[in-house]
Amino acid sequence: MHEIGIANSILDAVRSEAARYPQARPRRISVRIGELAAIDPDALAFCFTALTRDTGLESLKLVIERCPRRHRCPACCAEFDVAGYDFRCPQCGAENTEFLSGDQLELASMEVEEDEPGTA
Ligand SMILES: [Zn+2]
């Protein structure tokens, strides 16, 4: 299960980001996962929950956005989501379209909450 390593690197990113804002508490982290990235979102969410337990980050919510495979047509420059294994351009019918994205794993955004002065 390599999702545990991925959950770990997400948490590392959260921690280094949080270190820049000592007054803020991370609330929500969004990651984008391409459908070709071979990552099981359920397993990732499970590992994430397990890793944040008893760390002070229990309230941190992981949001996973799935990204479909996208191709680009060199003939008409259309960009489109690939459904199944049909790589033909939906606009002009060209068959030799180029892989654009769909194997990414990236942090999309992090939401933080400012602590009220005096309550921390
Ligand atoms: Zn085309």
In angstroms, what is the span from residue 13 Cα to ligand 1's centroid? 39
Ligand 1 centroid – CA 84 distance (Å): 18
34 CA to middle of ligand 1, Å? 23
Give the model's pLDDT for residue 7.
96
Q: What is the pLDDT of residue 97?
A: 97
> In whole angstroms, what is the distance from residue 3 CA to residue 94 CA?
37
The ranges of the chain with pLDDT < 70 are: 1, 116-120
Q: What is the pLDDT of residue 118?
A: 57
88 Cα: distance to centroid of ligand 1 (angstroms): 8
Q: What spacing in Å lies between the alpha carbon of 93 and ligand 1's midpoint?
A: 6
3-68+102-114: which CATH number, 3.40.50.1820, 3.30.2320.50, 3.40.50.300, 1.10.1240.10?
Answer: 3.30.2320.50
Domain ranges in the chain? 3-68+102-114
